[in-house]
Amino acid sequence: MPPPLGQTPGPREPHLGQVSPGPPGRTFEELRDRCLRRGVLFEDPDFPADDSSLFFSEMPPIPFAWKRPGEIARNPEFVSDGATRTDICQGELGDCWLLAAIASLTLNPRVLARVVPPQQSFGPDYQLWQHGQWLDVVIDDRLPTFKDRLVFLHSADHNEFWSALLEKAYVKLNGSYEALKGGSTIEAMEDFTGGVAETLDVKAISQGLSEILRKVLDRGSLVACSIEARNASDSEAWTPFGLVKGHAYSVTGTDQVTFRGRRVELVRVRNPWGQVEWNGPWSDDSSEWRSVDPSEKKRLYHTALDDGEFWMPFADFEAHFDKVEICNLTPDALEGGTLLQWEVAVHHGSWVKGATAGGCRNFLDTFWTNPQIKLSLSKEDGGKEDCTLVVALMQKNRRKLKKFGANMLTIGYAIYQCPGQDGHLGRDFFRCHASQARSKTYVNLREVSGRFKLPPGEYVLVPSTFEPHQEADFCLRIFSEKAAVTQDLDGQVNVELPEPLKPTSRQQETEEERQFRILFEKVDLQISAEELQEILNAVLRNTKNIQFKKLSLVSCRNIISLMDTNGSGKLELDEFKAFWARLKAWTNIFFQFDGDKSGTMSSYELRGALKAAGFQLNNNLLQLLVLRYADERLQVDFDDFLNCLVRLENTSREFPLELGAPLSGQKSHS
């Protein structure tokens, strides 16, 4: 049995603002034992029972009281008669998307047991998948109530609490109850399974949808469906057939029934409201059921209850619903044949304004600066000529950041064939080459995924936002039937510094060098940081085609530190001549990468300019340098460029291992 797709080797990349799954250094068992020893009930310090855990943009409309199950029901139970889809009834929160996912989760006991460990009794321990890793989420059992009734998710059985506590665990992971307003069912499905999502346009599938649904449900996949709301007034509007637009439903089964001598295909759907059902053919009270054998009705669990679940003809399902969302535990759920052991590679990265947030291919000048992942496909699928891939790009933590004004960004990706290409690909490559594959569209959902068949070869995958300069962290998952070699093209650091210039004799000096000698003879053949500052500021202010403010005294001390070979604290003539040659080379590089000849350089060009100067940096280092040296317009002046190079070269000499270079030698490769 293949491991859950969410389990990937190696440590998870740290993430700024990550929710703490529980008090630091304490497991669920340790917390339980500590509370038992003290004779107290656990209170979660990371998710307090107050208004801050409820809303971030408004005050509660009614006074909520946080109560434990024993204060709400006379005989409370964690699970009563098993966890079933009837245990999920929506409360006063617009999170039908989450509830539809929980209802689907109950159809797969093995997956449910991972999310909700069955051995606990009001235990606070849940497991949720986030960006490639399963997290233990620890909560207490205090829940928001009004007049002794649960305000949010609740079970139809008022003394059962597992579903309300699971909702609370998911709320903690995302920051507050308000953060769950509005979403995509597939988002929660992935967090419950670590699976990979695919979205189907019902109207675009000419045939075979019923077989797809039967197959994925048989394989334990979670399935949801919805009717598109064309405008704001359509959202949650009822159709004449009792269906709700812009609302998430769970697909809980498919079957066939004999009716008047012919077989009719049916699909079972559930409304997480726990009420409001389809009222057309084969609805709970429809006349069709009166012609069905009682044994068939029993097999199909047909009941005429207003519990939110109903059967409907498959033809009507196709006519009324627009979208089906499927969360596959393995990517072959939509394919024929036997289950496969899929290979998965996970890459974490960031789009940072001014450095790696280049936008889509429409923005050629910056598109090439996006993170790039090299993909080597060497083995075809068994018996086929192509290699099957499922690529899933997920933006991280946007829901948790809603309280700071963050929304889902519009994201997508493109795949380019690049035989014989090494290193980060530049602008010219993308100007001359079209993509071999790409996401169907750029969309403002948490994840965009797609299935592709590509011939064996070398490829580069470029994830991006649609617009440039938009910041987010992302997780990229690549599933393949055969092992694919992936490499982050922006993860290498390579420092290749020029050999120091040999001093020229007086007879070989140029006219410029003779002028330097005259100057140095006036100051005892060496200059201090203050004198260097005066010289460089005077020269650079008069240099055409660069915007220059002023070199600080600290910058000049850094230059002396870089070039001072004998530890005198000053620059001698030969040291100054070596620096002057370096300065002219750096000036030419600056001119080369000042594309619009404005006298400043776009921070997106910093990667190429630094590489020309001998520094190939990874994305983390590049992002730090942009934060330090670019202005609010994402421009780098020449003095900042000079300071950056001096700082980098000093660091590479003094702390070579920290920058990625070996300890000795002028030319180096990491």
The amino acid at 613: A
Contact 388, 381 (CB under 8 A): yes
Nearest to 550 by CA among 536, 571, 561: 536
- Dist. CA 144–CA 153, nearest whole Å: 10
- Dist. CA 66–CA 670, nearest whole Å: 56
Q: How far from 563 is each of 542, 639, 650, CA to CA, in Å? A: 24, 18, 9
Residue 558 known to be catalytic: no
Which one is catalytic: 96, 327, 556, 644?
A: 96
- Dist. CA 402–CA 398, nearest whole Å: 6
| All residues at 6 or more sequence positions from 119 whose CB lies less than 8 Å from its CB, including other chains | none
Which uninterrupted H or E stretch holds 584?
helix 573-593
What residues form DSSP beta bridges with 485? 376
Residue 550 has which token pair? 């002023």
For tokens 């190079």, the residue is 645
Residue 615, judged by CB atoms within 10 A of its CB (0-12, 13-18, 19+), counts as buried
Q: How many CB atoms lie within 10 A of CB 662?
A: 12
Residue 634, judged by CB atoms within 10 A of its CB (0-12, 13-18, 19+), counts as buried
Residue 247 known to be catalytic: yes
> Phi and psi dihedrals of 575, rounded to 5?
-65, -40
Nearest to 157 by CA among 106, 64, 88: 88
Which one is catalytic: 89, 174, 225, 271?
A: 271
- Dist. CA 512–CA 523, nearest whole Å: 17
- Dist. CA 28–CA 296, nearest whole Å: 46
Contact 68, 141 (CB under 8 A): yes
Contact 243, 270 (CB under 8 A): no
Which one is catalytic: 247, 302, 320, 347?
A: 247
Residue 96 known to be catalytic: yes
* C-alpha dihedral, 250 to 256 to 260 to 261, nearest 10°: 170
Which residues are the active-site residues? 96, 247, 271
